[in-house]
Structure 1
Amino acid sequence: MTLPWTAETWPIAAAMIPFPGRLPDGRLVQDADPAVWAESLGEVADAGFDFVDPTDSWLRVADLDPARRADFVAICRDLGLSVPAISTSRRSVIDPRHGEEYLAYSHRVIDTAAELGAGHVSFGFFGPFTPAQQKALWFWTEQGVKNPDDAATYRLAVDRIRDLARHAADLGIQVALEMYEDTYVGTARDAVRFVTDVDHPSVKLNIDIGNLIRLHRPVEHWSEMIDLCVPFAGYWHVKNYYRIEDPSGLVMSHPAPLMGGTINWRAAIRKALDAGFASPFLVEHYGGDGLGVCAENRDYIKRILSGRTVLK
């Protein structure tokens, strides 16, 4: 079996989640001078990354005017950073208040991805943080917004993702749907069902099972999720957690490096490669030196990939 990149050239992007979307003085990064963006992106480059995903919780590149977007592109170019994908967060196309607005935004993200030469976009159905989540040390320990158990809303979600898929296909972009609890792609079986219902070649799954392993509730075993979902895998957010399950029913979790947590990422990635996975990775980590852990995770993935025959 041959793969599209070598271990050294495979796109492994840094997420921008270690960098907040609001500055200490209250200003949004969105409205800041490009020098502010350059400082954060410079840290990414200094950590040894060649690829970055301008995660929109940090900066909505698709909502920059052309001149400022050109500034962003120039900063990345000068730092030697390429953008293989753009991920969105908490801008669901079925949001009960802003769904149509976020649908229009998602179309702009696809256009911007094409403009930047990025081949992938990631969308999700997870909603804004609740007040309890905003106060919690780890937001996943509090209940978040749930997608409604409603056939009409489910059908709307399918139709809107299919609409985005048609647009993406016209521009050579692949859509990945991020797995996230209490959404229509919130379990392995639900995710497979949803992507099958969309039934469009441009739509894959972002198998971000770390979002599920961290939950303080019963969840599917990580290997079962991987086995069910890797045939549909696209652009992939990867992170890990220590998960402790007490016989009393108590569950606790904490962020972990890829090599050290509950998910065996060596096994997971090898299963995906065997199933034909050929998309970029995004490395994420919450807490501590998130960027530093992401850099170590990048190197770990490269070691896994180096054990495979690749097409140069």
Structure 2
Amino acid sequence: MSWTSETWPIGAALLQYPGTLPDGTSTAMADDAAWSDVLREVRLAGFDHVDLTDTWLAVGDLPAGRLRSLRQLLREEGLGVSAISVSRRSVVDHDPVTAASNVAYSYRTIDAAVELGVGTVCLGLHQPLTADQQAAMWFWHEPGAADPDDPEVYRHAVTTFRELGVYAAERGVALSLEMYEDTYLGTADSCVRMVTDIGLENVGLNPDVGNLIRLHRPVEDWRTQFEKMLPHTNYMHVKNYYRDFDIATGAYFSAPAPLELGFINYRAVVEMALDAGFAGTFCVEHYGGDGLSVAARNRDYLRTILAAKLSLRRETAAREPEPARVP
């Protein structure tokens, strides 16, 4: 697919919308009007795509009739879907019963993607927030659940993702695996290893380097991380953070930042992505404050960069001499 800077799909994440109703039940139980209010607010923020983040709405739990209602609401609002992002439903959760339930949910989400006409489902290995994480100002200030250093568990993760990938490929859906600390997708090297071991064309990476840059610990340089992962990337969550390090005390600092103001230089990242042949969709995320407005700012920033980079590529191509004709 050949996109322009204006048509490139950039979806709004729905992290800022609660996944439960006031009575504590899932938003899957909400009526059409409640769903429509959220989708309309996204549209009024200038978006033409949305990431159906399942922290807001677990589409894998919707019956067929409700999926049809959601598809109609999206159509009425003029919104495409950049992807469906599955959050904190690890297929190797520490609880085997939960892990099995998460696998089943992943299959149902792929089916929902087919029903909604969505081409990408984003999966990961991050687990639910711990009590300490929920109590922290920012959850990444506290360590979360980590995948074990166990070859058998790793192989099970690879096998499960491969089986999900085959199922998705048969239905015309791509899977994207999200980078997340302390999991088997926790470093650039481990992400590349995982997707290589899976070995399917429709299973790629979501190099969400922001998940690591915000940590209060040493992390690999963001440029090196992207260099390793972009050749395998088929979807991108993009967000940024302020990051600082006090060499005297060894203390790290991080806080959410608009895309152009944070530690990662996304002008460089976009150029690297285009050089690597990236043609997937984007999802703009932001934690804290008015997340939707910051996401809209991030979207506009991305379009400005894409306009510049794509224009430069066209100009370069136009200057290149035509191949000599063989007489």
TM-score by length of 2: 0.92
In structure 2, the residue matched to 1:260 is: 261
Structure-1 separation of matches of 2:21 and 2:299: 27
- Deviating beyond 6 angstroms after TM superposition, the runs of 4 or more aligned structure 1 residues are none
Equivalences for residues 45-194 of structure 1 within 5 A: 45-97=43-95, 98-194=98-194
Counterpart code for 1:76: L
Counterpart code for 1:85: A
Greater shift in the superposed pair: 147-156 or 185-194: 185-194
CA-CA distance at 1:10 after TM superposition: 0.6
Greater shift in the superposed pair: 199-208 or 255-264: 199-208
Structure-2 separation of matches of 1:300 and 1:71: 33
Structure-2 separation of matches of 1:24 and 1:116: 27
Partner SS, residue 84 of structure 1: strand
Structure-2 separation of matches of 1:70 and 1:25: 25
Structure-1 separation of matches of 2:24 and 2:63: 21
Contact 2:176 2:235 survives alignment (8 Å) = yes
In structure 2, the residue matched to 1:31 is: 29
Contact 2:68 2:116 survives alignment (8 Å) = no
Equivalences for residues 244-255 of structure 1 within 5 A: 244-247=244-247, 248-255=249-256
Counterpart code for 1:197: D
Aligned CA distance change for structure 1 residues 27 and 111 (closer, same or farther; 3 Å): closer
Structure-2 separation of matches of 1:222 and 1:300: 19
CA-CA distance at 1:24 after TM superposition: 3.7
Contact 1:84 1:117 survives alignment (8 Å) = no
Greater shift in the superposed pair: 103-112 or 286-295: 103-112
Equivalences for residues 223-262 of structure 1 within 5 A: 223-247=223-247, 248-262=249-263
Structure-2 separation of matches of 1:21 and 1:255: 21
Alignment length, in residue pairs?
309
Higher-Rg member (1/2): 2
Equivalences for residues 249-288 of structure 1 within 5 A: 249-288=250-289
Runs of 5+ consecutive residues of structure 1 not aligned to the other structure:
none
Partner SS, residue 273 of structure 2: helix
Structure-2 separation of matches of 1:161 and 1:179: 14
Contact 2:67 2:115 survives alignment (8 Å) = no
Contact 2:82 2:283 survives alignment (8 Å) = no
Aligned-residue CA RMSD (Å): 1.3
Q: Does structure 1 residue 215 correspond to structure 2 residue 232?
A: no
Partner SS, residue 197 of structure 2: helix
Contact 1:185 1:191 survives alignment (8 Å) = yes
Partner SS, residue 83 of structure 1: strand
- Listed one character per residue, the Cα deviations across residues 100-133 of structure 1 (whole Å, up to 9, x for unaligned) are 1111111111111122111111000000110001
Partner SS, residue 92 of structure 2: coil
Greater shift in the superposed pair: 46-55 or 107-116: 107-116
In structure 1, the residue matched to 2:15 is: 17
CA-CA distance at 1:25 after TM superposition: 4.1
Aligned-pair identity in percent equals 52
Structure-2 separation of matches of 1:270 and 1:161: 30
